[in-house]
Amino acid sequence: MRSSRFLALVLAMSFVPALFSQGAPPSPAEAEKWMAATEADLLTAANEAQRAAWVQETFINDDTEAIAAKANERFAARANRAVIEARRFDGLKGLSTDMQRKFMLLKLNGSPTDEKLLAELTQVSASLDGMYGKGKYCVGGDKTKCLGIDQIDVVMAKSHDAKELEDLWVGWHKVSVPMRPKYERLVELSNQGAKEFGFKDTGDLWRAGYDMKPEEFSAELDRVWGQLQPFYQELHAYVRAGLIKKYGAAAERKDGMIPAHLLGNMWAQEWGNVYDLVAPADAVKTYDLEAALKTRIGNVPPLEAGKQMAKFGEGFFHSLGFAELPDTFWQRSQFTRPADRDVVCHASAWDLDNDLDLRLKMCIHVDDVDFVTVHHELGHNMYQRAYRKQPFLFRNGANDGFHEAIGDAVALSITPEYLKTLKLIETVPPPEADIPLQLRTALDKIAFLPFGLLMDKWRWQVFSGETKPGDYNKAWWELREKYQGVAPPIARTEADFDPGAKYHIPGNVPYARYFLARIYQFQFYKAMCEASGYKGPLNRCSFYGSKAAGDRLNAMLEKGQSQPWQKTLKEMTGSDHLDAGPMLEYFAPLTKWLKEQNAKNGTKVGWTVEK
């Protein structure tokens, strides 16, 4: 999602002319006047830069990269002066709660104050983003068979040829090698800016944005991971056994880890694509959503197919009482990969004017994965529209994890009953299908958790200096082995830069939000199920068509970032903290089943990491 990342950037990039006389003691009224002008300036700055960023990601070339970099450079220079000006109000008594919060949010930023270093930082950032977007792997060295990551994803999702999967994995990971020196410089420059504005490093700055101390935030993530790790380990053991049965020696390792290329995804972050290899032998037949989608819209032109996929997501929110998306959404979004230029295909939702110019940027494929993804991305757009009447500094999610969780909470309602309502399937599978359906869901939701955690753990170590540039790849794989229990298909060295093969590293997008979202979405989902009046096993709930659930959701979305996320969460769910309980409740039948299967088959749970 673009807007959360971009808003954090813009908040560090504003300048407002001084509206007070230097040296005079400030007053609360003066602070309010200054803040009002600041927010007006930020709104204008955000809109201008969002448009430059949109063009840069949907029409990648040297010129658009330069335009985006220069725009960000101007904003950052202004911001540094604005944040410094705001210090004049430090300790000022009599400020309203809203005003205190605005000053706090404004100061959660930092970039180099030296003009040359600032220009270099914005150029390096734009260049890394462009390098990823332009990245391609030419299969077998054939220049007529060059694939972007979205195209590679489709092949890896379908292929069960271990050699082909290894070739694609190794080929794509070569794309990131040239990024390494630029990334090292990005770390140096961003750290300098963070330190100039009172933070230990960039990781400390990122963690400070959660209405708690940075060290408390880190501890909170570790606490919740401790709740979920046993479930992940059972799933890992079960999947490993299924892959060994399919691939033999190519999947079997003495240390019990799973080769990363065999999990149906370039980064082994979600494993749903290997479901057919690990499905229960006696599984009740469920449904083939991809086949149903292809039957419905697979024969229409790609652009129209992409729009029809997005229409499914819009329809769900409309059923909850949300207004339809504006016409400009359908006119201006990127729904498919253009044939005439490079673009960033990584799915994201945009709000270009902080009002109603909402857009989706995605290279949509007619399959079950992108069916879920469009629901996810439109959740961002609904959130953006809901808080658009807040003051500018509050036009964001309660925290960035909230923003990522909205669409995913809705996607949990993609139950057989919902699909039958859409006439994508004819019959609802019987209760015996619950385990296969839960397994398919867990292969994405649960398998993702350690990856969602380690991405920023790696960066926090890099930003703090605990991990030196000469150990980037070593530290990356140490974390992946420790948390995920996955290993690279071939030996890796410091000549590689494997973190850069994942968009969010060169894109410099914080990633803890996605771990948080995996937990929050079940909290939100349970709350909306309760609001809808649903009674029954949580995993079978769909609140499609429930205006009461929609009202509960919209009340939360409209708050934006106007209050601490803990308060917003409690108003939505009754709990004021990150809680894995609803997720564990949802998957309780599967957890029991996995333990039984692993015990029955004598499958060892866990893996060994060499020290």
Catalytic residues: 377, 504
First and final C-alpha spacing in the chain? 37
**How much of the chain is in helix, strand and coil states, percent to nearest 5?**
65, 5, 35
Q: Which pairing describes strands 258-259 and 348-351: parallel, antiparallel, or unpaired?
A: unpaired
Q: How many CB atoms lie within 10 A of CB 461?
A: 19
116 Cβ neighbours under 8 A, 6+ residues apart = none
The length of the chain in residues reads: 611
Are 544 and 524 in contact by the 8 Å Cβ rule? The answer is: no
Q: Name residue 126's amino acid.
A: A
407 Cβ neighbours under 8 A, 6+ residues apart = 313, 375, 376, 377, 378, 379, 380, 382
Query: What is the rounded CA–CA span in Å between residue 334 and residue 361?
Result: 5
Query: What is the rounded CA–CA span in Å between residue 62 and residue 40?
Result: 31
How far, CA to CA in Å, does 441 sit from each of 75, 107, 274, 371, 537? 42, 40, 12, 14, 15
C-alpha 185: how far from chain center: 24
- Please name the residue ranges forming H helices in 114-179: 115-134, 149-158, 162-173
Q: Report the SS3 class of residue 190.
A: helix
The residue with tokens 């930082």 is 121
How far, CA to CA in Å, does 184 sit from each of 175, 201, 454, 469, 472? 16, 14, 19, 7, 9
Angle at 400 between CA 396 and CA 405, to 5 degrees: 105
No. of helices (H) and no. of strands (E), the chain: 24, 6
DSSP one-letter code for 334: B
Q: Report the SS3 class of residue 429.
A: coil
Q: Report the SS3 class of residue 198.
A: coil
Nearest alpha-carbon partner for 231 in 431, 448, 457: 448
How far, CA to CA in Å, does 355 sit from each of 67, 335, 380, 388, 607? 23, 21, 13, 5, 49
